[in-house]
A and B are shown apart, each in its own frame.
Chain A
Amino acid sequence: MRGMSARAFALAAAGAILVTACSTTGTPSGGGTGADQGKPFVFASTQFSPVTEQENMRKKILAAYQGASVDFVTDQSAVILNRISAEAKAGGEQQIGLVGIENGEFAQLVAAGAFEDVTKVADKHKDQKIPQDMLTLGKFGGSAQVYIPWMQATYFMVASKQALQYLPTGADVNALTYQQTIAWAKNIFDKTGQKKFGFPLATDGLIHRLIQGYFYPSYTGGLITTYRSADAATMWNDLKELWKYSNPQSTTYSKLQEPLQSGEIWLGIDHVARLIDVLKAKPDDFVAVPAPAGAKGRYYMSVVIGLGIPKASPNKAGAEALIDHLLKPETQILTLRENSFFPVVDVKMPSDLNKGLQLEADAVAKQANSKDAKVVPLPVGLGSKGGEFNKAITDTFVRIALKNEAVQTVLDEQAAIIQKIMTDGNIKCWGPDGTSTGACQVK
């Protein structure tokens, strides 16, 4: 009898799990009115892959959307991009009506002519003041608008308030230089004996982005072209110095929010989404400030996610209506509240924003509005070579800082690896390196 009831319970539980699982896999949103709003379509994105973020997207961000039925689908970058290009190749009318992917991911699909020109949609939203350089980024050097900016993210610095007393004299925490940051970390070490700077150096940490979008351009004004320059050598010697005052367990840090929260580190630069938990948990214990500046400026990396309409979209009017919904100020703020991506349109921040989000929002604004601020996009055009490119960059850090190899030798060797990637893939220069006709060249 007991055995029977236990089995019945297990069956019921399994059934319940199954039902719940099914109900969370892409319940279509919108289309509630029953009026003729065109064919249902898929909104495919490489963003919001964590389950909670998917749920927020389906149940909250898309809740107020009244157009045709939409199925939000997200997966790893390669999966989504393959599906988009497969539908583009097949032509005619396919399933994906709208895509929401990162600028560099668009770049991989632009050559195939997979997207409609959305200049008209951009014109319609002129009053919302989407930054002009973001719109230009979305044209990929042509005249057609490939995507409409949707939301953005970036990286900035977080410091524990305990560290502020060790700030070097004359340094403004909101306008630090790399020299001052190193002096700060050194000062903490001298006074407390502890190494309190942190690098996101675990295998899934984003150290390569810091090197690509922050250190290199700020010191050398470039990335590929200046990879083995004298300025680069100066930069690496500085990083080597900073590493001396960095927590030696940094190699296990994938997101800096965890060591910041536990107090293992006091300072560090990381992606907004990898800092939000600590800022939400302890907003009174930390300050969020712009990333430091180097000799060539305060470069920061902007991650722009855009919305594009595939030529094979089954419902182009529906896709435009969804873009309108996603760009509404209230939807943009909802996206920030729920999934921590920042608005691209001009919005007035609500006063009841979560304290941690407010810290992030302020830091993002301060960073973008710094006098010497210069923006860098994520690497463009690398496609499947992106992984090896990131590895070449990270290996440079590991060899110089961790393994203590000679700076110039490492730079020459790693530059050769990077040059091969550029040449093999015929990848043109981007961002701080300017433009090139052929493959980008290390000088």
Chain B
Amino acid sequence: MRTRTERFLPFALLLPTIAFLTLLIVIPMVQALLLSVMAESDGLSLDNFQRMFADVNFSDAWRNTLLLLILIVPLQIVLALVMALLINSRFRGHGIFLYIYAIPLAISDLAAGILWLAVFTERGYLNSTLQNAGVIDQPVLWLSFDNFAGILSAIVIAESWRATALVLVILIAGLQLIPRDFFEAADLFGANRLRRTVHVVLPLLRPSLQSALIIRTIFAFQTFAVVFALAGRNMPVLAGEAYTWYATNRNEHVAAAYAVVVLGLTVVAIIVYLRVLGLREAEVQR
């Protein structure tokens, strides 16, 4: 017979999480929503959204954010998957690789941006290395305002370097959850390493891939420190505009409108992921 304590225990254990989420996520979210629809004087209005849409940077920010998302997320997932499989094959010294891969995780994104700026700037490490090697005569302006492809590539490289480790950690945890007997069974049936990866590892890794994709996509919508450092004023992104409107332009209402747009995009992306990569009943019950 279940006692009263047993019946209430799950709720009691959930309480701290719920309190935490309410305090730090739900309340600020509601506040942002309210701010975005409040007029500067008083009362409700859509002025803030109109100002956002009319702003010089809005369409660029929208395009750049999506472009970065499309370029960075798949690249990082593939890279992280390769790295995770490599580490999980437990070759000699695989532990060192994990440490090296994880270093960027300890660096703040703005610091990472500044670091890569030192690489890509006109008199940076990249140009001086290429010049010393005799590959180029004159420094190449990778970050020139009219070199959109150059700036974009620099950001993609910097972001991949900085945040791939995050995906990697999630995937390694997922790999380690796969029971060894599946591999033994596959070996028994004579599967080679490739077939084992495709037919055993990847399907069983799907829940981890899903979490990694969701987390990485949320972060991709929030990217801006690296972009600020490498592109300055050249490449507005949605999260960066929210920050600029709040901190520099001192208008928290338009900033909140941008935040609401980012929130909306994130929710849509998560729903898509849950649908496309959704776990089937059988897998949940496993």
Measured CB to CB, the residues of A under 8 A from B are: 78, 201-205, 247-254, 259, 262-264, 384-388, 390-391, 394-395, 398-399, 402
- Report if A252-B143 is in contact (Cβ < 8 Å); known contacts: A201-B232, A247-B122, A262-B122: yes
CB distance from A192 to the nearest CB of B (A): 10
Chain B, interface residues (CB within 8 Å), range: 20 to 34
CB distance from A246 to the nearest CB of B (A): 10
Contact B123 A249 (CB under 8 A): no
Across-interface contacts of A385 in B (CB, < 8 A): 250
**A361 CA / B229 CA spacing, docked (Å):** 32
- Report if A249-B249 is in contact (Cβ < 8 Å); known contacts: A201-B232, A395-B56: no
Across-interface contacts of B250 in A (CB, < 8 A): 78, 384-388
Identify which of B145, B229, B248 contacts A249 (C-beta below 8 A): B145
Main secondary structure on A side of the interface with B: helix
Q: Is B156 an interface residue (CB 8 A)?
A: no
Contact A248 B146 (CB under 8 A): yes
Going nearest first, the 10 A-B pairs with the smallest beta carbon separation are A387-B250, A248-B144, A202-B232, A387-B249, A252-B232, A251-B232, A262-B123, A251-B234, A251-B233, A264-B122
Across-interface contacts of B244 in A (CB, < 8 A): 203
Across-interface contacts of B123 in A (CB, < 8 A): 262-264
Identify which of B117, B231, B248 contacts A387 (C-beta below 8 A): B248
Across-interface contacts of A249 in B (CB, < 8 A): 121-122, 141, 143-145
Across-interface contacts of A398 in B (CB, < 8 A): 56, 233
Residues of chain B in range 93-124 having any CB-CB distance to chain A below 8 Å: 117, 121-123
Contact A248 B248 (CB under 8 A): no
Residues of chain B in range 241-258 having any CB-CB distance to chain A below 8 Å: 244, 248-251
**A210 CA / B208 CA spacing, docked (Å):** 52
Residues of chain B in range 218-250 having any CB-CB distance to chain A below 8 Å: 228-234, 244, 248-250
Contact A399 B56 (CB under 8 A): yes
CB distance from B39 to the nearest CB of A (A): 11
Across-interface contacts of A254 in B (CB, < 8 A): 232
12 contacts between A and B (CB under 8 A): A203-B244, A250-B145, A252-B121, A252-B143, A252-B230, A252-B234, A254-B232, A262-B121, A384-B250, A386-B250, A388-B249, A402-B233
Contact B141 A248 (CB under 8 A): yes
**A387 CA / B244 CA spacing, docked (Å):** 9
Contact B233 A388 (CB under 8 A): no
Across-interface contacts of B228 in A (CB, < 8 A): 203
Identify which of A203, A247, A251 contacts B248 (C-beta below 8 A): A203
Contact A391 B249 (CB under 8 A): yes
Contact A264 B233 (CB under 8 A): no
Across-interface contacts of A391 in B (CB, < 8 A): 248-249
Across-interface contacts of A248 in B (CB, < 8 A): 141, 144-147
Across-interface contacts of B233 in A (CB, < 8 A): 201-203, 251, 394, 398, 402
**A250 CA / B234 CA spacing, docked (Å):** 10
Contact A251 B231 (CB under 8 A): yes
Main secondary structure on B side of the interface with A: loop
With A201-B232, A262-B121 given, name 6 new contacts (CB 8 A): A203-B244, A251-B233, A252-B117, A387-B250, A391-B248, A394-B233
CB distance from A51 to the nearest CB of B (A): 17
CB distance from A208 to the nearest CB of B (A): 10
- Report if A388-B251 is in contact (Cβ < 8 Å); known contacts: A395-B56, A402-B145: yes
**A247 CA / B146 CA spacing, docked (Å):** 11
**A363 CA / B249 CA spacing, docked (Å):** 32
Beta-carbon nearest neighbor of B139 in chain A: A264
Across-interface contacts of A201 in B (CB, < 8 A): 232-233
Identify which of B141, B232, B251 contacts A203 (C-beta below 8 A): B232
**A239 CA / B56 CA spacing, docked (Å):** 20
**A127 CA / B249 CA spacing, docked (Å):** 42
Across-interface contacts of A78 in B (CB, < 8 A): 250
Q: Which of B141, B143, B228, B250 has the most CB of A within 10 A?
A: B250
CB distance from B47 to the nearest CB of A (A): 11
CB distance from B158 to the nearest CB of A (A): 13
Identify which of B121, B146, B229, B232 contacts A264 (C-beta below 8 A): B121
**A252 CA / B249 CA spacing, docked (Å):** 19
Q: Which of B147, B248, B251 has the most CB of A within 10 A?
A: B248
Across-interface contacts of A387 in B (CB, < 8 A): 248-251
**A274 CA / B234 CA spacing, docked (Å):** 21
Across-interface contacts of B231 in A (CB, < 8 A): 251-252
Across-interface contacts of A264 in B (CB, < 8 A): 121-123
CB distance from A405 to the nearest CB of B (A): 10
CB distance from A361 to the nearest CB of B (A): 29
Q: Which of A247, A249, A254, A399 has the most CB of B within 10 A?
A: A249
**A402 CA / B231 CA spacing, docked (Å):** 13
Across-interface contacts of A253 in B (CB, < 8 A): 232
